[in-house]
Structure 1
Amino acid sequence: MKPRLPKRASLLAAFLAGTALAGPLAAQTTLDVAIIGEADTFDPMMSTKDVVSIVTQHFVETLYTFDSGWNVAPLLATDLPQISDDGLTYTIGIREGVTFHDGSSMDAKDVVASLERWLEVASRGKLVADKVASVEATGDYEVTITLTEAYSPLLSLLAFSNSAAAIYPEEIIGETIDPVIGTGPYKIAEHVPDQYLQLVRFDDYSSRSEEPDGAAGARKQTVDEIRFVPVPDPNTRVEGLLSGQFDFADGLPAESYGRLESSDVADPMLLQPFGWPVFALNHKDGLLADKTIRKALQAALPMDDMLFAAFGDDKFFLTDGPLYPEGWAWRNDAGVELFNQNDQARAAELLKEAGYDGTPLRILTSRQYEFHFKMAEVARMALEAAGFTVQMDVVDWATLGERRNDPALWDIYISHSPFLPEPSLTDMYSETSRLGWSNPEKDKILAQFTSETDPDKRKELYTQLQGQVFEDVGFIKIGAFNALSGLAEGLTGVTETPWPFFWNAEPAE
């Protein structure tokens, strides 16, 4: 094993110590984790941002989670629910002896109040809210969810840490929650915005007893303290990892892979395949409410060039149209003939047909995910060649998260998603998402897809749904990519996942 170098003084170390890492004295065992930016909320119900999920999963928990095979597994629930034959009633046992960070004990009333809030305020809770007849405490440690119609993705929604069905004490439930009080293995000790979030071990944590398996099973609290450090510049995250300042760094640029691979201090962690970059389109307001202009956008984009500019090496990307990769049950070829047209002349014809008047197409992006910005730059050139006027709005990730909630401020925002085990976890399909994508045929297919329980019939319906994504230009997948993170040499117990967690992490001695 390569020896891990001690954290040493350097210009970079001095910079980081004076900005990001200044704070309270470290506990006996501390992990310093560099993340792409500040988590703008510690309430995971209110956000779909990966950086929020990464941080909050350490102190807020859900009834269910996912194991390493993306199977739903119990977390705060005792076991998987009892589901009635008609799929309308879910009876969920709640674990006894679980303590919140304020010292109170969790029971069914806390779960009911939390789920009712999730249905009201969370983007993924809203996906199912109109199908929920009631959420009731049917015992001190039992909750029953009654639906008006079957909804097959429900358990996956309850397990997801993103727009999460988080469980809070009943007493703090409100429109906003501050401070956030959870049941997780760590609790918040101190937060200095834009510098660090200090989490310390929660001594009264009640872990599950099963062997760790993905995010399921035992959460062992092997380190005393975790410090999440927002480092917006990706190259600074790389240098901090290579200097020994960080134990883990998320969201690293592809070009840093070779340096990490040859380093005596750090190792690369490559998630392959990870997910897909996406142009999210505004159907509510502005240019892209016009389907013909959406089709012009689709026709103009050069996916190969965009992906090469973003990642630079085909080790890190694949120009692939279907919404799921090879080997996944959901993969199909519906509509893929419309992928990667790279036909600016056809786009120009469609713009003329739409009567396009030169109104700027506003692309909202950020450099904290550098590959988003690089894709946007190549897209801009192709779109201008097709006759679009393009306005690039480059902001920090937190600002992008705010602006995308106002349909008056953007036409496209650039994001990405891991490949998820249940398509309905991607809320862009729903009319209630911030995209506002709706047409009668798509809405009918989506309703059938989420109410169908037969796996083969669901695959058939998803094929139709993917066809709608391409034919109506609901949103635009750019391709597939592999994600690079890095960890300190000798650090173990960090699962390869889109949302890294550290409750079982063990640093090198």
Structure 2
Amino acid sequence: MRRKLEFLVATALIAVPSFAMAQEKGGVINVATIGEPPTLDPMSSTADLVGIVTQHIFETLYTFDKNWGVTPLLAESLPEISDDGKTYTIKLRSGITFHDGSEMTSEDVLASLERWTKLASRGKQAAGFIASMEAPDEQTVVIKLTQAYAPLTSLLAFNNSAAIIIPAEKQAEPMTEYVGTGPYMLKERKADQYIQLTRFDGYKSRDGESDGYGGARHQYLDEIRFVPVPDPNTRVEAAVSGQYEYVDSIPVESFDKLKNASASEPLLLKPFGYPVFVFNTKEGLSSKLEMRKAITQALNMEDMLAAAFGSTDFYAVDGAFYPESYNWHTEAGVDGNYNVGDPEGAAEAAKAAGYAGNPLRILTSRQYEFHYKMAQVAAEYLKLAGFKVDMQVVDWATLTQRRADPALWDIYITHSPFLPEPALIGALSTSSPGWWDTPARKAAVDPFTSEPDPAKRVELWGNVQKVIYDELPLIKIGDFNAVAAKSAKLKGVDPAPWPYFWNASVAK
């Protein structure tokens, strides 16, 4: 699926395109992130922060190009797929070396994919369709499915709950050695201080031009340091002063301040994605559909978006999971179920559903300040509807740990970029926190994922979106644009939902 609208940069702020600048080898960059990643094993986490860091260390068989098409990375080419869509033959690149000096073979790939299907939420999602995996020779892996499963290559390409390839003898759960094939390797991690990556001299890049996450990956930098900076205001001031070469996830209200800074310049990702409230459908207050409907009925999405992003330059009130600029756009299920903002009616609905005053536990973090601001507005509407709200504000690493336990929360707040394949949406996996698993979900999702025809899949996605609104495993709040900042000296960095620095360099 090709997006009609690519990520845009505030082009007036960039004097010379990065590709026109001569890029020099050497140097160190410091990247300010929203916090400490809960793990460096990208199989075991769906947190964007984990993917941002680890995509430099580990690689997958496939990745995404600048138009969000699947493109080979460790695989030699796109898979050869049988006419019935049930057999994928994957040829591997030769001469790929792991950070420990060993050479990658199909044995490593097979062991890694088996670990992925057992450990990763998206691997478990694919596992239900996998009949067998085998390695007929050192450069080939064959995956046989029980039925056609269109999202498989996208799942293998995603850096989130990722199907990373690691040595066959280093498959420990949890991961104890961080050995990948990526352009940079882990040198040191000091908790709450930094994660230090250094150039891997044995890296074998693909040929040709860089192409989004695909194509050539250049190693201009000697070292990349990811530094946790949890406070959003501190990130803003650090960006203005040029303390870091790149600052991720900056509150949008600071855009003008950054635009007038000399040391750094803002990057605008437009449109970026959408914030969501994810319900715990497994146990607790929100496990009851009627209660989820009452909670949704109470909420005014426009007020939450305004509080979080201020100007409509940075948000849009939209209940469709993809904007009109995407092929996947559909209005199915939205009308009458989105942005209702009726706390009085919600109070009646909650009472009818048997609400007895027990706390509604909302799990959020201030490291993404817009999450917290939305939570505050939501809490007021829910109180008007008669709910007793227990707002639990924790750091992002703690949130990602707590959401794995269904006994600890009713709603958690997160966000997602617009993903190239809807099957990548976390809530569609029954093992994802929220644990949505109903006959209606299966009846809508299975035909969508098994249909190979792209045009038919667009129509079938409408059925999935309708069931999401019918059963409410999550609530989409709206669309938003994201802001980051980069030093005026940093070259070769394009706006991306998961920023990457293998093509980055620092002007001397």
Bin of the TM-score, shorter chain as denominator length:
over 0.9
Provide the residue aligned with 2:239 in structure 1.
Answer: 241
Residue 396 (structure 2) pairs with residue 397 (structure 1): yes
2:506 partner letter: P
Provide the residue aligned with 2:358 in structure 1.
Answer: 359
Q: 1:163 aligns with which of 161, 164, 175?
A: 161
Provide the residue aligned with 1:476 in structure 2.
Answer: 475
Q: 2:52 aligns with which of 54, 70, 80?
A: 54
Provide the residue aligned with 1:201 in structure 2.
Answer: 199
1:286 partner letter: G
Is residue 429–residue 474 contact of structure 1 (8 Å, CA) maintained in 2? no
Which segments of 5 or more consecutive residues in structure 2 lack a partner in the other structure?
1-11, 16-24
Provide the residue aligned with 2:425 in structure 1.
Answer: 426
Q: How does 1:104-503 map to 2 (within 5 A)?
A: 104-337=102-335, 338-503=337-502
For residues 253 and 434 of structure 1, the distance between their equivalents in structure 2, rounded to whole angstroms, comes to 26
Is residue 242–residue 266 contact of structure 1 (8 Å, CA) maintained in 2? yes
For residues 64 and 294 of structure 1, the distance between their equivalents in structure 2, rounded to whole angstroms, comes to 37
Deviations 1:253-296 (A, max 9, x none): 11110111011111000100000000000000011111111110
Provide the residue aligned with 2:4 in structure 1.
Answer: none
Is residue 87–residue 151 contact of structure 1 (8 Å, CA) maintained in 2? yes
Is residue 3–residue 265 contact of structure 1 (8 Å, CA) maintained in 2? no
For residues 59 and 420 of structure 2, the distance between their equivalents in structure 1, rounded to whole angstroms, comes to 20
1:473 Cα deviation (Å)? 1.4
For residues 184 and 430 of structure 2, the distance between their equivalents in structure 1, rounded to whole angstroms, comes to 36
For residues 46 and 13 of structure 2, the distance between their equivalents in structure 1, rounded to whole angstroms, comes to 38
Is residue 444–residue 467 contact of structure 2 (8 Å, CA) maintained in 1? no
Secondary structure (helix, strand or coil) at the match of 1:417 reads strand
Secondary structure (helix, strand or coil) at the match of 2:63 reads strand
Q: 2:32 aligns with which of 31, 34, 44?
A: 34
1:219 Cα deviation (Å)? 0.6
Moved over 4 A (4+): 1-4
Is residue 26–residue 220 contact of structure 2 (8 Å, CA) maintained in 1? no
1:28 Cα deviation (Å)? 4.7
1:71 Cα deviation (Å)? 0.4
1:247 Cα deviation (Å)? 0.3
- Cα separation, partners in 2 of 1:3 and 1:380, compared to 1, 3 Å: closer
1:213 partner letter: D
1:137 partner letter: A
Secondary structure (helix, strand or coil) at the match of 1:367 reads coil
2:382 partner letter: L
Deviations 1:416-474 (A, max 9, x none): 00000100001202322221112212211111111111122212211111111112212
1:239 Cα deviation (Å)? 1.4
For residues 76 and 317 of structure 2, the distance between their equivalents in structure 1, rounded to whole angstroms, comes to 43
- Cα separation, partners in 2 of 1:354 and 1:78, compared to 1, 3 Å: same
For residues 231 and 156 of structure 2, the distance between their equivalents in structure 1, rounded to whole angstroms, comes to 33
1:130 partner letter: G
Secondary structure (helix, strand or coil) at the match of 1:273 reads strand
Provide the residue aligned with 2:9 in structure 1.
Answer: none
Is residue 277–residue 417 contact of structure 1 (8 Å, CA) maintained in 2? yes
For residues 147 and 117 of structure 2, the distance between their equivalents in structure 1, rounded to whole angstroms, comes to 16
For residues 215 and 74 of structure 2, the distance between their equivalents in structure 1, rounded to whole angstroms, comes to 11
Which segments of 5 or more consecutive residues in structure 1 lack a partner in the other structure?
5-26
Provide the residue aligned with 1:22 in structure 2.
Answer: none
For residues 174 and 230 of structure 1, the distance between their equivalents in structure 2, rounded to whole angstroms, comes to 26
Is residue 255–residue 311 contact of structure 1 (8 Å, CA) maintained in 2? yes
For residues 355 and 196 of structure 2, the distance between their equivalents in structure 1, rounded to whole angstroms, comes to 51
1:345 Cα deviation (Å)? 1.4
**How many percent identity over aligned positions?**
55
1:135 Cα deviation (Å)? 1.2
Secondary structure (helix, strand or coil) at the match of 1:138 reads strand
1:244 Cα deviation (Å)? 2.0
Secondary structure (helix, strand or coil) at the match of 1:410 reads coil
For residues 290 and 62 of structure 1, the distance between their equivalents in structure 2, rounded to whole angstroms, comes to 38
Is residue 2–residue 489 contact of structure 1 (8 Å, CA) maintained in 2? no
- Cα separation, partners in 2 of 1:344 and 1:503, compared to 1, 3 Å: same
For residues 488 and 176 of structure 2, the distance between their equivalents in structure 1, rounded to whole angstroms, comes to 37
- State the TM-score, normalized to the length of structure 1: 0.94
Q: Number of aligned pairs?
A: 487
Is residue 37–residue 232 contact of structure 1 (8 Å, CA) maintained in 2? yes
1:415 partner letter: T
Deviations 1:306-361 (A, max 9, x none): 00111111111111111101121111111112100001111011012112100110
Is residue 468–residue 474 contact of structure 1 (8 Å, CA) maintained in 2? no
- Cα separation, partners in 2 of 1:139 and 1:400, compared to 1, 3 Å: same
For residues 127 and 346 of structure 1, the distance between their equivalents in structure 2, rounded to whole angstroms, comes to 37
For residues 471 and 13 of structure 2, the distance between their equivalents in structure 1, rounded to whole angstroms, comes to 53
For residues 416 and 297 of structure 1, the distance between their equivalents in structure 2, rounded to whole angstroms, comes to 19
- State the TM-score, normalized to the length of structure 2: 0.94
> 298-307 vs 459-468, which deviates more?
459-468
What is the root-mean-square deviation in Å for CA atoms of aligned residues? 1.5
For residues 439 and 191 of structure 1, the distance between their equivalents in structure 2, rounded to whole angstroms, comes to 41
For residues 431 and 40 of structure 2, the distance between their equivalents in structure 1, rounded to whole angstroms, comes to 23
1:324 partner letter: Y
Secondary structure (helix, strand or coil) at the match of 1:280 reads strand
Secondary structure (helix, strand or coil) at the match of 1:110 reads helix
Is residue 13–residue 266 contact of structure 2 (8 Å, CA) maintained in 1? no
